[in-house]
């Protein structure tokens, strides 16, 4: 019979439960000693690290704050924020993937403070997921909040599940995109955006 693990919602209990699970994992590694000096504090470090690398789950309430810095504008020209760095974790192997996010939009009366795009990326990237999902989550949130005439989100990623295991393709990268409104309907707008982010 399969044993289910039920984690407490109390932060201190969660930390202790995580530590115990990491100890169990270390014990399964052949010819490794989970009690040796270099590993004795590893369960504590991993438990603490998880709070940081998966903090996106706890930041849903920050979305309203992020989009509180929306300003009215008459501008209807393209706005691009490129090279936003991110780190995330693959939901299939729980190893990192990382890279850059490029966002472009054509305002429809509203613009967002530029630094808020990086904050938005952080909220959605610090979770277990696939790159395609990350791309659409960012695009969906911007579309819902700003309702731009056009929106383009391009995410570049290097996946450690391909680099360090399996095919071990060291130089591979993945590009995903979501093109909406004018960027989907007008090839010339899409090409202008892609040209600008490639510089």
Residue 110 CB contacts under 8 Å (≥ 6 apart), including other chains: 70, 71, 72, 73, 146, 147, 148
Q: Single out the catalytic residue among 93, 132, 143, 192.
A: 93
pTM beyond cutoff 0.85: yes
Residue 13 catalytic?
no
By C-alpha distance, which of 60, 76, 85, 78 is closest to 157? Answer: 85
pLDDT tens figures, 31-65: 999 999 999 999 999 999 999 999 999 998 899 99
Residue 159 catalytic?
yes
What is the pLDDT confidence band of residue 6, given thresholds at 50, 70 and 90?
A: low
Domain with CATH 3.30.1130.10 in the chain: 69-197
Q: Single out the catalytic residue among 90, 102, 129, 156.
A: 90
Residue 161 catalytic?
yes
* Coil, strand or helix at 94: coil
Q: Single out the catalytic residue among 91, 133, 137, 192.
A: 91
Domain with CATH 1.10.286.10 in the chain: 11-53
pLDDT tens figures, 63-80: 999 999 899 999 999 999
For domain 69-197, give its CATH number from 3.30.1130.10, 3.90.340.10, 3.40.1710.10, 3.40.50.620: 3.30.1130.10
Residue 131 catalytic?
yes
And the tokens for 21? 């699970």
Whole-number average pLDDT of the chain: 94
Cβ proximity of 84 and 98 under 8 Å: no
Return the CATH fold of 11-53: GTP Cyclohydrolase I; Chain A, domain 1 (1.10.286)
Residue 90 catalytic?
yes
Burial readout 128-144 (b: 16 or more C-beta within 10 A, e: otherwise):
ebbbeebbbbbbebbbe
pLDDT tens figures, 86-107: 999 999 999 999 999 999 999 9
CA distance 24 to 9: 21
């Amino acid at each position: 019979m399969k044993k289910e693990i039920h984690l407490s919602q109390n932060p201190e209990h969660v930390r202790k439960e995580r530590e115990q699970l990491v100890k169990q994992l270390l014990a399964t590694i052949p010819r490794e000693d989970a009690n040796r000096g270099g590993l004795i504090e590893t369960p504590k470090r991993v438990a603490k690290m998880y709070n940081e690398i998966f903090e996106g789950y706890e930041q849903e309430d920050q979305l309203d704050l992020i989009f509180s810095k929306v300003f009215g504008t008459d501008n209807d020209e393209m706005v691009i924020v490129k090279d936003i760095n991110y780190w995330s974790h693959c939901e299939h192997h729980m190893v990192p993937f990382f890279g850059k996010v490029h966002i472009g939009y054509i305002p429809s009366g509203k613009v967002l403070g530029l630094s808020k795009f990086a904050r938005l990326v952080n909220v959605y990237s610090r979770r277990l997921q696939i790159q395609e999902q990350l791309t659409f989550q960012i695009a969906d949130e911007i579309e819902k909040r700003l309702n731009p005439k056009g929106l383009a989100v391009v995410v570049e990623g290097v996946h450690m599940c391909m680099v360090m295991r399996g095919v071990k393709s060291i130089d591979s990268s993945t590009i995903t995109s979501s093109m909406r409104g004018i960027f989907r309907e007008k090839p010339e707008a899409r090409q202008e955006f892609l040209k600008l982010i490639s510089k």
